[in-house]
Amino acid sequence: MVTGASGGVGRAAARAFAARGDRVALLARGREGLAAAADEVQRAGGEALVVGVDVSDAKAVDDAAQQVVDAFGHIDVWVNNAFTGVFAPFTEVGPDEFRRVTEVTYLGFVFGTRAALRHMLPRDRGTIVQVGSALAYRGIPLQSAYCGAKHAIQGFNESLRCELLHARSGVRTTMVQLPGLNTPQFDWVLNRMRGRARPVAPVYQPEVAARAIVYAASHARRREHWVGGSTAATLIANAVAPGLLDRYLARTNVEAQQENGPHEGPANLWEPADGRHGHDFGAHGRFDDEAVHDSPQQWVSRNRRWMGAAVTAGAGALAARKLAGLVRRRPLT
């Protein structure tokens, strides 16, 4: 099951699961995007089930999970991905807007996780993938509601993971922390900045995130997966020198999140941009010209044991050569 499957990362992840021959339940609000996503899943070799749902409605999410179980028999993987956001200074975000972002982006993950556990715990198996962001650890200007929600997901997921480990449950939960991505969200978020919203560079294609999500679903013993060199650099810098990073982001990230031109897209905060009177936005945004298709950091992360062994072997060989040199240079007595 993939929430937010009608566009962006969710859409790309649905295709990636379908390429394995999986049966994929597509959850979202947007009618046009869901129909197109279902067609892509089927063409990729999977089986699609479309379920229209607003993830901020706990009962609707429970009903959606039951509908999927009735159709497919069980739920092996649940991917929480749906979100919404507002690009604006905190003082320009209304209380109802802040609440709405929190209900979708944070409580949507909580409700999805509860629905997944209701079906996974009795079977003592299943994986829940929480799609996070570097912003789950590091807040940035102009996205206070979204950053707050992602931080909340991080804390909630850690608590749940500890409980599952304590119970020696066969159900796993893991989190995927993503970088800036070329998705349609920047044309459908509520935007009160001077310019058009854009992801902070470097920008990655949503397929990079989709591959990480599919990988995480099969490697859920690992508590967290970082995607992209920018994510790794941000999280490391935040752990080492958060105060310095505050000042750097204050100086650079207001301009880095916008570009020239007015914001013209529909805001999907209250209604889906790809709903009854909208159109299908697909997985990609308008940044194809600059977005990269691969992440060397992701390859290193997946192969970290092999890399560690190689580094250890290399260090050992270097030490042996140095020792041999010292022995050769040692004078005879």
Per the annotation, the verdict on 146 as an active-site residue is yes
User: Could you tell me the CA-to-CA distances from 81 to 1, 108, 224, 236 in Å, in that order?
Assistant: 10, 9, 15, 24
Distance CA 25, CA 51 (A): 7
Residue (of 5, 34, 1, 2) closest to 274 by Cα position: 34
Query: What's the sign of the alpha-carbon dihedral 299, 305, 308, 313?
Result: negative
- Give me the catalytic one of 106, 137, 146, 204: 146
- Phi/psi region, residue 168 (left: phi>0; alpha: psi -120 to 50; beta: rest), is left
Kindly state the helix (H) or strand (E) to which residue 190 belongs, with its residue range: strand 190-191
Assess contact for 163 and 271: CB atoms under 8 A: no
Residue (of 137, 35, 145) closest to 87 by Cα position: 145
What predicted TM-score, i.e. pTM, was given to this entire model? 0.89
Query: What's the sign of the alpha-carbon dihedral 124, 129, 130, 136?
Result: positive
Q: Tell me the H-state helices in 167-295.
A: 185-188, 206-218, 229-240, 242-256
Distance CA 205, CA 182 (A): 5
Q: What tens-digit pLDDT sequence spans the chain (333 residues)?
A: 999 999 999 999 999 999 999 999 999 999 999 999 999 999 999 999 999 999 999 999 999 999 999 999 999 999 999 999 999 999 999 999 999 999 999 999 999 999 999 999 999 999 999 999 999 999 999 999 999 999 999 999 999 999 999 999 999 999 999 999 999 999 999 999 999 999 999 999 999 999 999 999 999 999 999 999 999 999 999 999 999 999 999 999 999 999 998 887 778 999 998 887 788 999 999 999 999 998 776 667 666 666 555 545 554 666 556 555 554 555 544
Residue (of 38, 35, 31, 36) closest to 53 by Cα position: 31
